[in-house]
């Protein structure tokens, strides 16, 4: 199966034509332009005839003359431009094109009908077929297709209901939009060799009733419209809801280690591409690029979340815990390890703990322990463990060994425990993310306990860091890679090693 991405941008494309935000400026400076929706499968199945597919196909150097099926997700303008059908009509008098079948929701078919010669419809030369959810359709090319219900209804604050328009024409447009979203579908396409793709846009998180109709995938093209803008109030995915969906799909084996996960329908609400690539890699995904070709089944490496052992360090409120939570968010099974010793009669502490707990998905298992070696040693292949944090762990060890007044003894005790943990990390097959604090910068504290603590944590961070594939420094809500085993193994480096 060969999948050509004709457009990986959202309704307004990326860069947004009227915008100068950092994300748009970066995309423009790189010439990285994303057109609106459109996917061509094996040259013969076109998903979403958007306003940009004709130009995108030309830029990709392909002709659409072999297309025998057009699948439409819904009738929003960025997924359906009926003039694409007129362009095809204009070639027909020359008799060069055969029959065409079109499958889509009723509101989409109604938009197309006026653009097609009625004779072509009555002769059956062009067939317009309304979707039946969950039914398998055999296409003229031998592929089979299945429509699944999308979650594309409008949220309470969503476009366009929040906008006030008095003109009846605008009302009519809004009405059409509402109809379209109520019957939006995702398209699953299976090749004659059994390779399977899901085109999952535009949708919010998928209910279990939709997931029940899904089968294991070779390629998941999944929307990621809103990036870090989480208050969009629309039925789309963002960088908080996408990993949760992936976690559910992994748990149900719809997404597995060989599934290529490609984010599409991208907008400027996303961070600039290098940061987006880094964020998606943690979930075994990547952003799609316009005009790239995905050849299904040839991926040399399993598509699994990367990297496996990560130390996230940073100051207070630097964004380190949030980054750590993000890194494990797409795993099917996550264990959250709270290392702090219980504190009696400390309301402020209880509040802090409660805030962190509320932010964590309900599906995560929380355990409270200082025995990190056992947790790490027993984590298996698909497990993710988030340890938050080494700072409180070290405090607890000094408390329990009662060594605050004997600094050299305290350092020796904690170092021993850190070495045991490092050795467990070296041998684990799970994904382990550890949070710690960067406390050694600034002026040397006058307080002896504070000096001891800075020394102890410096030791712990250095020992654990040596066994991590990646070390990240969080600062001002951003993340700087301090060390990455991946960059050390880039192809040029590997060649020089061999």
Question: Residue numbers of the site for Zn ion (CB under 5 A)?
Answer: 11, 16, 19, 21, 24, 76, 78, 202, 268
Q: Give 35's contacts (C-beta < 8 A, 6+ positions apart).
A: 6, 7, 8, 9, 13, 50, 52, 55, 56, 290
CA angle, 378 then 380 then 382, to 5°: 150
**Which is closer to Zn ion, CB of 21 or CB of 55?**
21
**Which is closer to Zn ion, CB of 279 or CB of 333?**
279
**Which is closer to Zn ion, CB of 237 or CB of 280?**
237
**Which is closer to Zn ion, CB of 1 or CB of 237?**
237
The edge-to-edge listing of strands for the beta sheet with 2-7 is: 126-130, 100-104, 69-71, 45-47, 38-41, 2-7, 293-295
**Which is closer to Zn ion, CB of 60 or CB of 176?**
176
- The least CB distance from residue 181 to Zn ion, in Å, is 6
Q: Is the peptide bond before 227 cis (omega within 30 degrees of 0)?
A: no
Spatial distance between the Cα atoms of 143 and 68, rounded to a whole number of angstroms:
11
Task: Classify strands 69-71 and 45-47 as parallel, antiparallel or unpaired.
Answer: parallel
The residues annotated with a catalytic role in the active site are 356
- The least CB distance from residue 303 to Zn ion, in Å, is 25
- The least CB distance from residue 24 to Zn ion, in Å, is 3
Tokens of 401: 């060994």
Task: Classify strands 333-338 and 365-368 as parallel, antiparallel or unpaired.
Answer: parallel
Largest CA distance in the chain: 93
3-class DSSP state of 389: coil
Residue 66 CB-density burial (10 A; 0-12 exposed, 13-18 middle, 19+ buried): middle
- The least CB distance from residue 268 to Zn ion, in Å, is 3
């Amino acid at each position: 199966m060969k999948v050509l991405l004709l457009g990986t941008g959202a309704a307004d494309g990326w860069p947004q034509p009227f915008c100068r935000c950092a994300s748009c400026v970066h995309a423009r400076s790189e010439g990285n332009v994303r057109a609106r929706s459109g996917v061509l499968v094996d040259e013969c199945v076109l998903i979403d005839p958007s306003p940009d597919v004709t130009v995108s196909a030309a830029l990709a150097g392909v002709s659409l003359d072999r297309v025998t099926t057009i699948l439409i997700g819904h009738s929003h303008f960025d997924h359906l431009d009926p003039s694409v059908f007129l362009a095809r009509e204009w070639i027909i008098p020359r008799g060069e094109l055969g029959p065409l079948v079109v499958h889509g929701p009723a509101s989409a078919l109604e938009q197309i009908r006026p653009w097609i010669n009625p004779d072509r419809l009555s002769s059956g030369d062009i067939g317009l077929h309304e979707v039946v959810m969950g039914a398998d359709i055999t296409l003229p090319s031998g592929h089979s297709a299945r429509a699944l219900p999308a979650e594309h209804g409008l949220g309470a604050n969503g476009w366009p209901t929040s906008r006030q328009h008095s003109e009846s024409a605008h009302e009519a447009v809004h009405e059409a939009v509402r109809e379209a979203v109520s019957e939006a579908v995702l398209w699953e396409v299976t090749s004659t060799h059994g390779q399977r793709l899901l085109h999952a846009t535009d949708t919010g998180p998928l209910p279990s009733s939709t997931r029940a109709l899904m089968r294991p995938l070779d390629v998941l093209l999944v929307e990621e419209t809103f990036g870090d803008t989480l208050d969009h109030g629309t039925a789309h995915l963002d960088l908080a809801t996408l990993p949760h969906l992936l976690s559910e799909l992994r748990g149900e084996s719809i997404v597995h280690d060989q599934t290529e996960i490609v984010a599409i329908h991208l907008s400027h609400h996303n961070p600039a591409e290098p940061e987006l690539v880094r964020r998606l890699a943690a979930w075994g995904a990547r952003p799609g690029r316009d005009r790239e070709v995905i050849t299904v089944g040839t991926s040399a490496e399993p598509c699994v979340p990367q990297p496996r052992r990560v130390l996230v360090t940073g100051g207070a409120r630097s964004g380190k815990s949030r980054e750590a939570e993000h890194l494990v968010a797409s795993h099917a099974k996550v264990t959250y390890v709270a290392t702090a010793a219980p504190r009696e009669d400390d309301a402020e502490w209880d509040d802090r703990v409660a805030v962190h707990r509320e932010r964590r998905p309900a599906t995560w298992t929380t355990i409270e322990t200082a025995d990190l070696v056992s947790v790490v040693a027993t984590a298996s292949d698909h497990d993710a463990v988030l340890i938050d944090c080494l700072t409180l762990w070290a405090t607890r060890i000094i408390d329990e060994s009662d060594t605050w007044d004997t600094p050299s003894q305290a350092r020796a005790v904690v170092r021993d425990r850190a070495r045991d943990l490092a050795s467990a990390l070296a041998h684990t097959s799970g994904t382990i993310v550890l949070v710690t604090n960067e406390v050694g910068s600034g002026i040397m504290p006058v307080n002896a306990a504070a000096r001891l603590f800075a020394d102890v944590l410096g030791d712990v961070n250095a020992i654990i860091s040596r066994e991590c594939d990646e070390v990240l420094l969080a600062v001002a809500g951003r993340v700087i890679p301090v060390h990455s085993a991946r960059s050390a193994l880039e192809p040029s480096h590997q060649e020089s090693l061999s």
